Structures are given as C-alpha cells and as structure tokens.
Amino acid sequence: MSEPNTAEVTLTETPGEVLTGQRIVVLDFGSQYAQLIARRVREQKVYCQILRHDITAERLAELAPKGIILSGGPASVYETGAPRCDPGLFRLGIPVLGICYGMQLSCDALGGKVDNTPSREYGPAKCVINKPESLFEGLPGEIDVWMSHGDQISSVSDEFEPLAHTSSCPFAAIRHRELPVFGIQFHPEVTHTPLGGMLLENFVRKVCGCEPTWELSDFAEATISNIRAQVGQRRVICGLSGGVDSSVVAALLYRAIGPQLSCILIDNGLLRKDEQTMVIREFTEHFKTDLHVVHAEDRFLETLDGISEPQEKRRRIGHAFIDCFKGEALKIDDAHFLAQGTLYPDVIESGADPDGPAATIKLHHNVGGLPEELGFELIEPLRDLFKDEVRRLGIELGLPESLVWRHPFPGPGLAVRCLGEVTRENLDVLREADAIVVSEIQAAGLYRETSQAFAVLLPVQSVGVMGDARTYDNAIAIRSVNTNDFMTADWSRLPYELLARMSSRIINEVKGVNRVCYDISSKPPATIEWE
C-alpha cells in the first residue's frame, strides 16, 4: 500500500468553472430555502454554489461570479449579532439580488430604511409590477408571490427606485439607480411563487449575462476525464450502499478506469430487507466489478448498544464504517484512492466547505469522516451535485431505472429510523414493516409518484387487543413525501385504501406491532427523516 496521502481530491476546479467559465453564488444568511435558490438557478442551466454570508468582497472578487444572490434569513437587520455581509461586495460591479432579508440588508447598507411590520406577513400576496423591465421583463402586470417576513423596507433614498408593490408592502421590489443591485421582498424560489423561476431566469440570463451551458452530459465527460488523469494506473476503491449516489459514483469510475475499480459493501445490519442481495446482483452482473462484501452486523450493533441520541448514532456508525472499510481495503493491493457518493447538500449541511455556510445541521459519515491514518486520496465526483442531478446523471450513464429511481436511503441506514435504542429485534421489526410499505406503494403504481417512503419504529408502546387478548406493543409510523429536490417536501396524499392495506398487513404480519400512524408533516418545519 502506498504512503498515506490525505489530500482531498475532487475535480481540479468546480464543474461550473470547468464547463462554463461562469457561475452564480448564493450567500446564505440562514434561510431554509438557500439550497432551493441554488437549484432554481441550476434549472436555468447555469452553475450555482452556496457560500457563507460573511465571505469577504476580496474573496468574491477572486471567485469572479457572474452574479450574487443574498438569501433570506430569520433575523432582523437591526438585531444585535444579526448576520451581515461585507458591504464591499456591492461595489464590485457584480449584479446582486437580495431576497427578503437579503433585500433588507442591501437597502440598509445602501441608504434604505427597514422597519418591523405590525404583524408578520406570511403567505400568498398579489404583487403589482410598476416597471416591467430587468427582473420583471416578460411577466404580467400582476403576479402571485409568497411572502414570509416580519420586517420590510419602509422608505428608500433617491438612489433606489421601486419596481413592484403589494397592498401591504410598498417596496416589494427595488433596484439601485447606479449600482447593479436589486431586491425583492418575496420568495421567487418557492413553488408558491409560480412565475418565480422566470424572475430568476431574468436575473441570471439578462442581468448577469449568463449562458445556459451547465449540462450534466458535459459534467460526466469532464469528470471521467479528470478521474483518468488523476488515477493513472492506480486502483480506486468505492464504498457501495445500494443507493443511487454510490451507484452513480461506481458507474462514473467504471466508465473511467474499468478493472482498476474495487467496490466494498459493508453489511452493517442496518440495510433494508434483501439490500445485500440486490447490490451483489447489480454490481456483479451489470458492472462486473471486483466486489468485496464485509459481514459486520455484530460489530455495528455492539457499537450502538445503549445509544439513542441521533448524532451519537451517526458518529459511532461513521467510525465503525471506517474501521470495517479500512480493514477490507488493506486486503486490496495497490489501493490508493477512495471514492464516495458525497452530494452538495451533504457538504453544505456538514460545514465541510471552507467558503460555504458554517453551521453544521447534521453529521454525514462520509464528509470529513476519514481519519488521516486511512491513507487514501479522496475522490468525491458528485460533491457539487444535488440529488435530482445525480439521478439524471445516472440515466446519462446508462444505469437501470430501477436503480436510479430507488427511494433515497440515509447513510446510517435503519439506525436513524429506529428511534431510541437500536437492537437486533427492533431492526427486524422495522425491516419487515418497511418492506411492506415499499411493496404496497409499488403494487399501487405510486413508487415513481412518491419521492421517499419508509417505515419508522417509534420508541413507544401502546395498548391494543389481538385475539381477545390485551397487547402492549410497538407503534410504526409511515412516512411518504413528494419533492423535486429534497430541500422542501410535502407529505404524500396516499389513498386511504392503500394506507389501510399497509396498516393491516403490518399489524397482522409483523410480530410486535399493534398500531400504525401516518406522518402528515411537511419539510419544513419537519425533516424527511425522523432523526
């Protein structure tokens, strides 16, 4: 095995820079929609990335984006400690679009006045366009928009001009007369603003001058070329989970280096029912790769014994995964690189990007989780992509649709769907219930219409009656959501008959369950997973 080299390796530059020489950046001020803004920009076939809100104007000038978007956020610009941006960014000559809090921040920095409204405005509004130009070119005179704010612009200096208003917001959109700075009080990135995509397109294409050149097919070819140049004649190992992310990584690597790829599947006892069999079939028949399977259920259950706190579960699973993976990898001759299916939301939420948002939302066992002694260079070819882009890339690479469109599965597996303590018995109950949920949705022809569906074992027992006998058994929650990007999601309106069949089958076929609930929470405020 070669000497340890822990330098993190992705592409030599960001894919947007490699393929297009242009990008839009979003500065994140704590908005729940920051990732959604970036996805909406990418829908215009323009590369977009999310950066920390306090990035310096000097650093932005080095990155040379074609445009800057300031996200919304929960704070008030007048609060002590409220997040600010470097005011120098407004003088870079780069077009700036402030959304909600970002608009208020722009006005506050450039001579506007922000006041707290008597009551928070949240929900739909009619926005009347004063000047159908720049941002609003091609839009009708009145559009439906989504408001979510407690503060709003109460007055602007002569350096600003209003572009739109609502019945309660006189400055729903503004622009600076001399600087390329725009602001909108509503949220164009959410589906509740139906023409918001057109507004963002106007900013990205017309104001910033970006061309629609961000193509996943080009991304695939550029990535494959980079991997070949990077790897040379050395060997790459790839961790498989059975999910679309690691499968697409394996497909990219197989296309790039063929027999130099070795794949490792860690059977940690936290997989879905028959997961191991499916992975072995796909990656020995479809790819014909060198596949190593490590049976480590006992190891993982031991490390999770007595642990119920979600972040600690993730941390322990990550460490156990690394140990098992390292042990198997050491058996593979000339293994120099490690490839992982890290996605852009993983990088953002784990705080792994030095220019990205600093807050850690949750731990990702494959982001920054590799200790130095592992001794591999890291290849993360998907770390600039969102989930829906990965699926489209999988189709581009010729992966079977049954694999590409599999519902997502969390890295820590069933451990974060088994609330409370993780035991072999609880996992067996959850695995059987989950298999019933998925099979019934497939039988109803709704698998592709739903984005993610699964069962959750709740850490509570309840009274029931079975066969005239009193029971005190487990409760299962069914979770099914619809989403385009997994950053926001709504609960699936499954037919009552389907829910009834699921409930009946789970209670009758899964020993130890006497109650089934259906989760009707949306994201936000809830998350898709329960832990």
- Identified catalytic residue from 43, 189, 328, 380: 189
At 463, is the secondary structure helix, strand, or coil? strand
Residue 402 — φ and ψ, nearest 5°? -60, -30
The whole-angstrom separation of Cα 509 and Cα 492 is 24
Element (H, E) at 25: strand 24-28
Residue in the structure block whose two tokens are 């697409």:
248
Contact in structure between 247 and 403 (CB atoms under 8 Å): yes
Query: Up-side HSE of residue 398: CA atoms within 13 Å toward CB?
Result: 6
The whole-angstrom separation of Cα 416 and Cα 272 is 12
Letter string b/e over residues 176-212, b meaning 16 or more CB atoms within 10 A of that residue's CB = beebbbbbbbbbbbbeebebbbbbbbbbbeebbebee
Bin 64: left if φ > 0, else alpha if -120 < ψ < 50, else beta.
left
- Identified catalytic residue from 43, 48, 85, 100: 100
- Identified catalytic residue from 53, 187, 336, 407: 187
The whole-angstrom separation of Cα 192 and Cα 36 is 13
The whole-angstrom separation of Cα 252 and Cα 250 is 5
Task: Give me the residues paired with residue 240 across strands.
Answer: 265
Active site residue 421: no
Active site residue 85: no
**Nearest CA to 164 among 122, 199, 116?**
199
Task: Give me the residues paired with residue 378 across strands.
Answer: 8, 338
**Nearest CA to 91 among 181, 177, 156, 210?**
181
What one-character DSSP code corresponds to residue 124?
E
Residue 298 — φ and ψ, nearest 5°? -60, -40
CB atoms within 10 A of CB 3: 6
Residue 141 — φ and ψ, nearest 5°? -70, -20
Check whether the bond before 212 is cis (ω within 30° of 0): no
Residue 344 — φ and ψ, nearest 5°? -60, -45
Which H, E and C letters describe 135-195, residue by residue?
A: HHCCCCCEEEEEEEEEEEEEECCCCEEEEEECCCCCCCEEEECCCCEEEECCCCCCCCCCC
The whole-angstrom separation of Cα 253 and Cα 272 is 25
Question: Can you read off the two tokens belonging to residue 55?
Answer: 């990035």
Task: Give me the residues paired with residue 461 across strands.
Answer: 474
Residue 505 — φ and ψ, nearest 5°? -65, -45
Active site residue 365: no
The catalytic residues are 100, 187, 189
